[in-house]
Amino acid sequence: MAESTIFEISSPGRVGVKYPKCDVPEYELPKTLVRKQLPMPEVSELDVIRHFTRLSKMNYSIDSGFYPLGSCTMKYNPKINEVTARLPGFALTHPLQPVDTIQGNLALMFELQDWLLEISGFSGITLQPAAGAHGEYVGVMIIRAYHDDRGEKNRRKMLIPDSAHGTNPASSAMSGFEVVPVATDKNGNVDIESLKSVCDENVAGLMLTNPNTLGLFEQNILEVIHIVHDAGGLVYGDGANLNALLGIVRPGDLGIDIMHFNLHKTFSTPHGGGGPGSGPVGVSKHLIDFLPSPIVGIIEEASEDFPPYYGFVEPKKSIGRIKSFNGHFGMMVRAYTFISMYGKEGIRKIAEGAVLNANYLMALVQDKYKVAIKRPCMHEFVLEGHWSTAPDIHALDIAKRLMDYNFHPPTNYFPLIVPEALMIEPTETESKETLENFADALLKIADEAKNEPQLLKEAPHNTPVGRLDEVKAAKDLVLCCWIPDNLN
Amino acid sequence: MFIPHSDADIAEMLKKIGITKVDDLFTDVPEKLRYPELNLPEAVSEMEALKNLQEFAYANDSTQDLICFLGAGAYNHYIPAGVDSIISRGEFLTAYTPYQPEVSQGTLQAIFEYQSLIASLTGMEVSNASHYDGATAAAEACVLAYHHFRGKRNKFVISKGLNPQYRETICTYFQGYEDVNITGYEHTDPFESDDYLLSQIGTDTAIVYVQYPDFFGQIHDYTKFAESVHEKGALLAISVNPLSLGLLKPPGEFGADIVTGEGQPLGIPLSFGGPYLGIFATTKELVRKLAGRLVGETVDKNGTKGYVLTLTAREQHIRREKATSNICTNQGLMALAATVYMSLLGKQGLNQVAKLNFNKAHYAAEQLNQIEGFRVIQKGPFFNEFVLKCPETVENLNALLLDFDIIGGFDLSKYYPQLPNHMLVAVTEVISKDEIDYFVNSLKEVING
C-alpha cells in the first residue's frame, strides 16, 4: 500500500506549528509584490510525524542492516557524532560572526586540518568542499592553476584509468581538460605501457584511485607516480577508498600531490540518503598557495597565558571561493569526534578491520562467484554476477534477490571494466557473523540462479514495492505531487 | 567500540583466508612506507570525546548567548522540534543515495515531496533533489546556461545584488572556460538599477542573474525585467530566500527560467555555515539540462505507485566526461529537513513567519532610522534585511555591541569597498520587540559612549 503524499493528506485550516503573535506594528508591502496563492499543504504536527515516520520505515539503512555498497564505505555512524554536532555552541553559531566569538569552531577546524594532514601525509588542506565530487573539482582546478602559474598552459591532458569513478572524467571535463583514458592490465594495475604512451609535455596529471575500484592496491604505485612526475604532470588521488589505507600508508608519502577525503565515507559522517557529504582536499607543499579560500590558520601563536588565536587566511594564489561560508562544519564536528575516539593507535585498526573483512567475505563466496581479479583485495572486491549455467541471470537479479534476504545489494555494474560487476565493501564495523550470513545468502542465490531462476528474475518479493518501471518514469516525467484544487 | 572483532574472530578469519597474520594483507604496499608513525592524540572514550567537544563549543558565543542581527545569506530562524526528530531517524540518516528504489521508497518519496514543495513555493514547474548550497546552485545554473547555448553565448550578466560569495563561486567555477565573460565585479554603484543591468545584456548573453530579495534585502518586481531579458534571448535566473516566498510573489510568476537559492532558512541550523541546502528549480523546458538528482513517479509490476531516480542518463556515472556536471549527491538530509519544515508550517505558517520577519525588520528599520547619525538607505520595499548607514565603521560598532551581548549586522565594506560604514541588518521572527528596542538603545549608548 503506497503512502499518500503530504499534499494528499492536507486538510484546509490545519497547521503544524504555532508562532507567537506579532509584537510590532504591521507594515504594508506593495500589493503587486504580495503573493496571491500559496499552494502548500495544511497538516497537523501529528500528521507530519506519522507521515515521515511511515516513510522512514520504507527505507533500508545502516542502522537496520548490512549495507555492502562498494566504493561507498557504509560503516556504522556512531551516535555520539549526532550529539556533538548538535551542541548549541556549534549548531547555533552564525558563519559570519566576529572571529572573537567563534574561536572554538576555528580551533576544531584547525585541529581537524592537522589530523587529516597527519593521516594523509600532505602539507596543506582545505575543509571547504561540500562533497567528494566537489573536492575533486577543486583538485583539478588546482592542477590547472598550478600549470598555468608555471606558464605551462599547454598542459591540458588529464589521464584517467578506465576503472575510475565517473566523477573523475566529469570533473576534468568541467575544468576544461581533455580526458585521456589509461588501460588496466591483467592484474588490475595501471598498464605501464599504456601510461607511458600518453605521457608527454601536454600532460596535466593522472587521476588515480588507490586502492582502485577493483579493490586492489596499485602494485606499481611508485613507478606510476614517477612516470607522471617525470613528464611534468601531477598525480591526483581519489580519496574515496582511503579507508583501506588509514595508518597503513600515507598517500602523500607515496608521492601523490593532491587528494580529496570523503568525511562521509572514511570518517563515519552519515550519508543522509544522499548527502550532505564533505570533501576536504589535501595537497603537497608546492600546491598550498592554490588552495581555495578561506582556510583556518593561526593569527597569533599561543603564549603562556593564552591559547593560539585563530582566524581565516587566504592562500596567496588561491583559486578562490568554491561555496558559501566555511564548508560543511557539522560534518567536521562528526569527523573530529570519530577520529578522536580512535586516536594514534586505533586509526590503523580501521583499515586492518576493513581489509580483513573484505578478504574474509571474498574467501567465503569465491567458490560460487568469479572474482574479477584473483588477488588479495583491500577494503572491497568485485565479483562477476553471471554464470554460463544460468544464462538469463544478471548482476541486477542477484542484487534484487539479496533484498529478499534483508540485505542491501552491493554496487552493481561498476567498475565498467568488469562484466556484470558486483562490488562489495563490508567495512570494518561488521561482525564475522554478519559477513557469514551475507555470504550464505549469496551462496543460496547462486544455487537459486541455476535451479529457480524465476525467483531472481522477479525479485524482490518482500519489499514495499517491486521492481519499478524506470522507462515509464523517464517517459512520463512526473516530478511533482498532484496538488488538490483547494490548495490553489 | 565500533570494530567488533575479538582475537578469536580474527584468528578464524585469517585461517579461512589462508594467511597467518593481518600484516600479510598489506604486502602490496611499498614496505619502506608501510605503517607510518602517526602524530595523533591517544584515543579517548565516548565520555571524554563529548567533554572535549563541549569545550570547543563552550569557547564560542552562539546565537543562544547573543542576540543576532546578522544575516547576509544565513539566518537565525526557529526550527520546530519535529524537524530534528524526523531527520535523526536512523532510517533516513544512515541510508545511502537511493539507487535501489525497492528499499529506498522513504527517501525517494520524501525527495519527490521536496521537489513538489519547492516547485510550489517558487512557482516553477520543476525542482531537482537539491544542490550543496545557494552558491554552488548559482554556479551550476551558469553551467546550465552555458551548455544550453552550447557555448555560443558566453556572457553572464550578474547583478551586484547577488550574494558576493555566490558571485565569487561562479567565477571560480568558470576558471577553466577561457571564453566566458562575467560582469558584476566592477567597483561601480552597488545599488545599480535594473535598467543598468538590462543595458549590459547583448546577443552574447547566456544568463542574467539577480537576487530576490537582493543581498541588501530589497524586493524588486522583475515582471518587466524578465520580458526584456527574454527579448534578448537570454535566460533569467533568480536566487531567492525561500522563506520570503511565504509572502512575496513567487519568481515563477515573473517568468524566471531558473530559480536557485539558499534553503537554510527552511529548518536548517546555522551550524557555522553548513551543511545547508541548494535550491534549484527550472521550467520544464530545461529539465533535461538540470544538473543533480531528480526523482520521478512510476509504478511497479503490480501497478503500485513508487518513485525512482530518473533521467539518470544525464549524469556523470553514465556520461563520464560528456556530463556537464560532476554532481553525484544531493543534500539529502537537508532536503528532508526542509520538507518537514515546509510541511509543519504549511500554507498558514509559511505566510505567518514571512510576515513576522517582514514586520519586525520594518519596525527595527524605523527605530534605527531615528537614531542621530544613522540612516536606513533603502530605495524600495525590503523583506527581513536592510542597509543601515552608520556614523563609524561597522567593525568598531560590532566590537562594541558584543559588550551588550549583541551580534551586529554584516559589515558591507568587506565586499563593497564603496560602502564603508554600511551595516546589513537582519531581523527574523526569533527577535522580540524588546530585543529590537534594546539593540536601538545599545547603539545609542555605543555612539554616545
**How far is the C-alpha of A129 from the C-alpha of A322, rounded, in Å?**
7
Cβ-based contacts of B439 with chain A (< 8 Å): none
Q: B429: domain CATH number? A: 3.90.1150.10
- Measured in angstroms, the CA of A387 and the nearest CA of chain B are apart by 23
Question: Residue B49, SS3?
Answer: helix
- Measured in angstroms, the CA of A430 and the nearest CA of chain B are apart by 7
Regarding whether B374 and B253 lie in a shared domain, the answer is no
Question: Residue B293, SS3?
Answer: coil
Strand partners, B378: none
| pLDDT value at residue A488 | 60
Residue type, A291: L
Cβ-based contacts of B3 with chain A (< 8 Å): 349-350, 353, 428-429
Cβ-based contacts of A23 with chain B (< 8 Å): 432-433
Cβ-based contacts of B317 with chain A (< 8 Å): 165-167, 414
Q: Which domain holds residue B286?
A: 81-341
Interface of B with A in 133-152 (CB under 8 A): 133-136, 143
B352–chain A Cβ distance below 8 A for any pair: yes
Q: Residue A160: which H helix or E strand, with range?
A: strand A157-161
Q: Residue B344: which H helix or E strand, with range?
A: helix B332-368
**Cβ separation of B300 and A121 shorter than 8 Å?**
no
Return the number of CB contacts < 8 Å for A and B.
694
**Cβ separation of B107 and A323 shorter than 8 Å?**
no
B346–chain A Cβ distance below 8 A for any pair: yes
**Cβ separation of B82 and A17 shorter than 8 Å?**
yes
Of A274, A446, A397, which is closest to residue B102 (Cα–Cα)? A397
The single residue listed with the C-alpha cell 535523526 is B88
| pLDDT value at residue B314 | 60
Regarding whether B242 and B96 lie in a shared domain, the answer is yes
Q: Which of B5, B32, B60 to mutate to test the interface with A (most CBs of A within 10 A)?
A: B60
Asked, for residue B49, whether it belongs to a domain, the answer is: no
- Check residue A102 and report its DSSP letter: B
- Check residue A415 and report its DSSP letter: S
Of B440, B413, B261, B352, which is closest to residue B78 (Cα–Cα)? B352
Compare all CA atoms of chain A with the CA of B21 and give the residue at the minimum distance.
Answer: A356
Does A158 score more than 80 pLDDT? Answer: yes
* Residues A313-319, mean pLDDT to the nearest whole number: 95
Picking from A58, A169, A355, the nearest residue to B105 by CB comes out as A58
Compare all CA atoms of chain A with the CA of B274 and give the residue at the minimum distance.
Answer: A328
Question: B446 is written with which cell numbers?
Answer: 555605543
| pLDDT value at residue B338 | 98
**How far is the C-alpha of A453 from the C-alpha of A11, rounded, in Å?**
47
> Angle, to 10 degrees, between the axis of helix A329-365 and the axis of helix B46-58?
160
- Measured in angstroms, the CA of B361 and the nearest CA of chain A are apart by 10
Q: Look at chain B and report how many structural domains it folds into.
A: 2
- Measured in angstroms, the CA of A78 and the nearest CA of chain B are apart by 8
Vertex A297 angle, CA B70 and A319, to 5°: 80
Q: How many helices (H) and strands (E) does chain B have?
A: 13, 15
Confidence grade of residue A484 (pLDDT, cut at 50, 70, 90): confident
Q: What is the pLDDT of residues A99-123, one digit of tens each?
A: 999 999 999 999 999 999 999 999 9
Compare all CA atoms of chain A with the CA of B47 and give the residue at the minimum distance.
Answer: A80
Compare all CA atoms of chain A with the CA of B102 and give the residue at the minimum distance.
Answer: A465
Picking from A67, A170, A337, the nearest residue to B96 by CB comes out as A67
In chain A, what are the domain boundaries? 80-340
Regarding whether B136 and B74 lie in a shared domain, the answer is no
| pLDDT value at residue A2 | 84
| pLDDT value at residue B53 | 98
Compare all CA atoms of chain A with the CA of B318 and give the residue at the minimum distance.
Answer: A166
Q: How many helices (H) and strands (E) does chain A have?
A: 14, 13
Asked, for residue B32, whether it belongs to a domain, the answer is: no
Q: What is the pLDDT of residues A378-422, one digit of tens each?
A: 999 999 999 999 999 999 999 999 999 999 999 999 888 899 999
B316–chain A Cβ distance below 8 A for any pair: yes
Task: Give yes or no for a contact between B201 and B216, defined as CB atoms under 8 angstroms apart.
Answer: no
Regarding whether B149 and B209 lie in a shared domain, the answer is yes
Picking from A24, A56, A133, the nearest residue to B433 by CB comes out as A24
The single residue listed with the C-alpha cell 544568463 is B207
Regarding whether B422 and B313 lie in a shared domain, the answer is no
The single residue listed with the C-alpha cell 500528521 is A47
Q: What is the pLDDT of residues A216-272, one digit of tens each?
A: 999 999 999 999 999 999 999 999 999 999 999 999 999 999 999 999 999 999 999
| pLDDT value at residue B328 | 66
Regarding whether B315 and B355 lie in a shared domain, the answer is no
Question: B322 is written with which cell numbers?
Answer: 560528456
Counting as low any pLDDT under 50, the low residues of chain B are none
Asked, for residue B443, whether it belongs to a domain, the answer is: yes
**Cβ separation of B72 and A176 shorter than 8 Å?**
no
The CATH class of the A80-340 domain is alpha beta
Question: Residue B41, SS3?
Answer: coil
Cβ-based contacts of A76 with chain B (< 8 Å): 2
Asked, for residue B7, whether it belongs to a domain, the answer is: no
Cβ-based contacts of B125 with chain A (< 8 Å): 480
Domain boundary among B341, B362, B381: B341
Confidence grade of residue A73 (pLDDT, cut at 50, 70, 90): very high
Domain boundary among B341, B374, B395: B341
Cβ-based contacts of B337 with chain A (< 8 Å): none
Picking from A76, A171, A177, the nearest residue to B326 by CB comes out as A171
Domain boundary among B318, B341, B364: B341
Task: Using alpha carbons, list the distances in angstroms from residue B99 to A86, A103, A274, B301.
Answer: 29, 40, 10, 18
Asked, for residue B36, whether it belongs to a domain, the answer is: no
**How far is the C-alpha of B21 from the C-alpha of B14, rounded, in Å?**
7
Cβ-based contacts of B402 with chain A (< 8 Å): 98, 100-101
Asked, for residue B12, whether it belongs to a domain, the answer is: no
Regarding whether B321 and B392 lie in a shared domain, the answer is no
Picking from A130, A179, A270, the nearest residue to B93 by CB comes out as A270
Compare all CA atoms of chain A with the CA of B84 and give the residue at the minimum distance.
Answer: A86
pTM equals 0.97
Confidence grade of residue A482 (pLDDT, cut at 50, 70, 90): confident
Interface of B with A in 164-183 (CB under 8 A): 165-166, 168-169, 171-173, 175-178
Task: Output the average pLDDT for chain A.
Answer: 95
Regarding whether B255 and B238 lie in a shared domain, the answer is yes
Q: B155: domain CATH number? A: 3.40.640.10
The single residue listed with the C-alpha cell 485550516 is A13
Cβ-based contacts of A409 with chain B (< 8 Å): 100
B188–chain A Cβ distance below 8 A for any pair: no
| pLDDT value at residue B319 | 65
Question: Residue B255, SS3?
Answer: coil
- Cis-peptide into A460, omega within 30 deg: yes
* Residues A302-313, mean pLDDT to the nearest whole number: 94
Regarding whether B355 and B329 lie in a shared domain, the answer is no
**How far is the C-alpha of B294 from the C-alpha of B290, rounded, in Å?**
9
Task: Give yes or no for a contact between A326 and A95, defined as CB atoms under 8 angstroms apart.
Answer: yes
Of B331, B52, B65, B293, which is closest to residue A97 (Cα–Cα)? B65
Compare all CA atoms of chain B with the CA of A318 and give the residue at the minimum distance.
Answer: B172
Asked, for residue B117, whether it belongs to a domain, the answer is: yes
**How far is the C-alpha of A219 from the C-alpha of B108, rounded, in Å?**
41
Picking from B26, B130, B321, the nearest residue to A172 by CB comes out as B321
Asked, for residue B315, whether it belongs to a domain, the answer is: yes
DSSP notation for A186-247: TTSSB-HHHHHHH-STTEEEEEEESS-TTS---TTHHHHHHHHHHTT-EEEEEGGGGGGTTT
**Cβ separation of A93 and B298 shorter than 8 Å?**
no
B31–chain A Cβ distance below 8 A for any pair: no
Does A165 score more than 80 pLDDT? Answer: yes
* Residues A23-51, mean pLDDT to the nearest whole number: 97
- Measured in angstroms, the CA of A81 and the nearest CA of chain B are apart by 9
Does A470 score more than 70 pLDDT? Answer: yes
Burial of A466 (0-12, 13-18, 19+ CB in 10 A): buried
Regarding whether B222 and B275 lie in a shared domain, the answer is yes
**How far is the C-alpha of B344 from the C-alpha of A18, rounded, in Å?**
9
Regarding whether B235 and B371 lie in a shared domain, the answer is no
Regarding whether B336 and B379 lie in a shared domain, the answer is no
**How far is the C-alpha of B349 from the C-alpha of B343, rounded, in Å?**
9
Cβ-based contacts of A399 with chain B (< 8 Å): 100
A158-162, A359-363, B158-162, B323-327: range with lowest mean pLDDT: B323-327
